[in-house]
Structure 1
């Protein structure tokens, strides 16, 4: 089914320029891959594990036919489909390209619905669609615009599209990214069922407990080479595996200075949300939210995919029109009292999947970090010498100093996420919004980032708002928790059995 012989790929300095500027699929900078031999028989499945920039995604792109300028022999004889961050970016790019909002008076072009993405103009049987929708439990998402879905929800829709093609092989690059805990367990159950049916799953990821138990074969990649290969249980029990997965990060002696930090009156509330409800297309998301975010607090926000976590964060950070007309006070000032978006944004640093999607400008890594001082996507101001020094110090803390002049879109997805974290913290903002910040990070970088966030909370005036579905993502600094829970009623249900009352929030002091 799969045969690789003497595969060699090296990204030359000229390679990025030869790729179309419109293509979101670009191999990481200085990527190299060297595999002497790898094979899978029909019906066999494989875990491809490794740290950021280890070569996993490059291998996935070669198998998917997205990279063709390699040496050696690569044969994949069965019908396959893919799921990846690159596919998500391509899908969203198509909707942006076809956006007709400028020609729709007083309206917004929301793009294709989730149903249209799943079908993708392919011939299909209604019975197949219904079975896959039921299998993935995505009925409530079908009529929503794809572009407004959360990361976890987009993963489910792209998984459905992949299954509609009835593949014999599925190439899945980090399929668990953004899924809530229940959805992670459900996806593992689905993948185990597919493996039992004879579908070959080649899953590219970092090691975690949610990986499907039925996938027995494993390879571990490092610097573009396979350094471990064999049966999963034997590899994970080996001493070499334990050594590869040891923690190896160190915290700074002090944080880089930030001369632009603003202070706030001692007793002034950071964020006040009073009896706020939000809906999309007349369908409630959350109801009657009351929340006070005080100085000295650090909050974790939790809840299932689609409950409104990212919507709430966008409303208070100036990125959502849903905030207009709502009783929201930011830093003691009522939202909509004449302040500009930039008056709001200067108090925040932000890491999120949406920002990662939107950061499409062609610019170097150092300029991405510097753009955090100006809350812009791209750098359009002349930074001061001190700002450049501070940005470089953050690059050193995150182990990215060697990439300073590398273009952002030439980094791996995980390395890009580290750069965006540096951009968010560079000015040590009053509020640091971390919306799934570790998405795309390997286990080593995940531990380093989480430890650094705790260090920032303890050694600066920055307050944290933290969202994560991953049980590995624990911060010691968290003082309070805001949880979205489904509002229940036995009498008010949608036609598909979904509760239509939306979510309500509970707050807890930790």
Structure 2
């Protein structure tokens, strides 16, 4: 019998002073392709990083590669976040920098990053072209890394991994930020490379996985427990719906019946047109679903509304009854908007505690703010209790499981009861129970006069209160409608 591809014995790992994996034993045999799922924070990512030598641990991990395979004898890990640097090897970016073309030149382009990756591993660029095309990423070659959305960052990671075709490939949250078509294309390519000899380990709770996946497991009490299918993964208990804090039951005071209006808005970088004559009106109390494939212009559109994009001043944009650039400050705009996005999460201050992270929503900062007022402290405690985050309030945000990090930032979004909520893929990183819980909160908020813009790819993970839909394609509006029937977006 051949040696297992992965042989783990007595693996113990601690993180932030807590035991994550305890005396864990696990084998991955050739021909097996595993899905690791289960509860957020159970240790799935820690296990993957330990296999790749990226986490300190005690115990034994042995990898055995097939010397007769034509695939490189390598293990490759695609993390849930893409940690890129600037040209000097620094990660000291700020959120608005991704929309400033001149400062964006501080990072590599997608093509340059791929060239660097390929040269280090002896790969030929022409072999990456079919993958770029299949994932709908071929038009991003000249885009700066800092300008990419979260879904586009995931595609870049996937292109690298699928191009490399290692004998062992571990992908953490493979479908994060991907549109429906990209998810299907990814599954097809994963099946192809698995048939060529790559052993797959996917860390996900998604049910839409390649049919070649044949083993399933979760981590319970620090040990691997095998199950029969993704349907058998342990789920969090259904949360008892708490009463929305009183301050959020009040309809916000609004400045105008028309919350925002865009008239033939164009955004371009040189010859590249990102938004092309986009017109859109959102009335007070409407709940809009914003959709579009990766790279369609959604993130750029939202950055115009939130005041983060410098080209907003050159466009015909009205916010809360005032024309953009008519004298209002960026902070006067932000105080009326609550926003969460994967990009804001990525740039968030790593030194912020959960308490500081949520409280910063009062001041629209990325973790730092002036002393909060007495009434604000009361609201903060109520909201932390509402999201079951009180036990974690003094912990550093980045040490929490990804799901709890997202809940904390979601709490930050609504803490000031803003006139307009912009929720950009708010449930990325949340499990099914957390997603259902938050969308129920969104529906509850919607019942109290909130105006909402909600970005979501997954049709089964949307609030029930959505009333309208706008769909972008290649920077243009291809659909604007009232939602009278069930949503069916392809």
Fold match (TM-score > 0.5): yes
Contact 2:264 2:279 in 1 (8 A): yes
Contact 1:8 1:72 in 2 (8 A): yes
Cα deviation for residue 12 of structure 1 reads 5.3
Equivalent in the alignment of 1:183: 182
Q: 2-side partners of 1:108 and 1:63: how far apart?
A: 37
Matched position secondary structure for 2:296: coil
Equivalent in the alignment of 1:89: 83
Deviations 1:369-426 (A, max 9, x none): 0000000011220001221221122122222211110011211222211111010011
Equivalent in the alignment of 1:481: 469
Structure 2 counterparts to residues 369-384 of structure 1, below 5 A: 369-384=358-373
Unaligned runs of 5+ in 1: 14-29, 487-501
Q: 2-side partners of 1:203 and 1:210: how far apart?
A: 12
Q: 1-side partners of 2:19 and 2:376: how far apart?
A: 30
Contact 2:136 2:182 in 1 (8 A): no
Match of 1:312 among 301, 310, 318: 301
Q: Does 1:421 align with 2:410?
A: yes
Cα deviation for residue 135 of structure 1 reads 4.7
Q: 1-side partners of 2:104 and 2:470: how far apart?
A: 33
Q: 2-side partners of 1:58 and 1:476: how far apart?
A: 35
Contact 1:2 1:40 in 2 (8 A): yes
Q: Does 1:209 align with 2:207?
A: yes
Equivalent in the alignment of 1:50: 38
Q: 1-side partners of 2:387 and 2:221: how far apart?
A: 18
Contact 2:179 2:457 in 1 (8 A): yes
Equivalent in the alignment of 2:354: 365
Q: 1-side partners of 2:169 and 2:368: how far apart?
A: 39
Relative to 1, partners in 2 of residues 1:94 and 1:231: Cα closer, same or farther, differing over 3 Å? Answer: farther
Q: 2-side partners of 1:306 and 1:169: how far apart?
A: 30
Q: 1-side partners of 2:115 and 2:92: how far apart?
A: 18
Unaligned runs of 5+ in 2: 66-73, 484-490
Matched position secondary structure for 1:47: strand
Q: 1-side partners of 2:196 and 2:53: how far apart?
A: 25
Q: 2-side partners of 1:413 and 1:246: how far apart?
A: 15
Matched position secondary structure for 1:432: strand
Relative to 1, partners in 2 of residues 1:90 and 1:34: Cα closer, same or farther, differing over 3 Å? Answer: farther
Q: 2-side partners of 1:435 and 1:254: how far apart?
A: 22
Deviations 1:101-120 (A, max 9, x none): x9xxx943421011122233
Equivalent in the alignment of 2:71: none
Equivalent in the alignment of 1:114: 110
Matched position secondary structure for 1:273: strand
Q: Does 1:503 align with 2:476?
A: yes
Deviations 1:206-260 (A, max 9, x none): 2x2321221110102234333x30443xx74xxxx38x34761122223242699
Structure 2 counterparts to residues 185-264 of structure 1, below 5 A: 185-206=184-205, 208-226=206-224, 228-232=225-229, 236=231, 241=232, 244-245=234-235, 248-257=238-247, 263-264=253-254
Q: Does 1:6 align with 2:10?
A: yes
**TM-score, with length taken from structure 1:** 0.85
Q: 2-side partners of 1:224 and 1:89: how far apart?
A: 27
Q: 2-side partners of 1:269 and 1:482: how far apart?
A: 16
Tell me the number of residue pairs that the alignment of Structure 1 and Structure 2 aligns.
463
Task: Report the more deviating stretch, 438-447 or 409-418.
Answer: 409-418
Contact 1:261 1:427 in 2 (8 A): no
Matched position secondary structure for 1:124: coil
Matched position secondary structure for 1:193: helix
Cα deviation for residue 92 of structure 1 reads 6.8
Contact 1:50 1:220 in 2 (8 A): yes
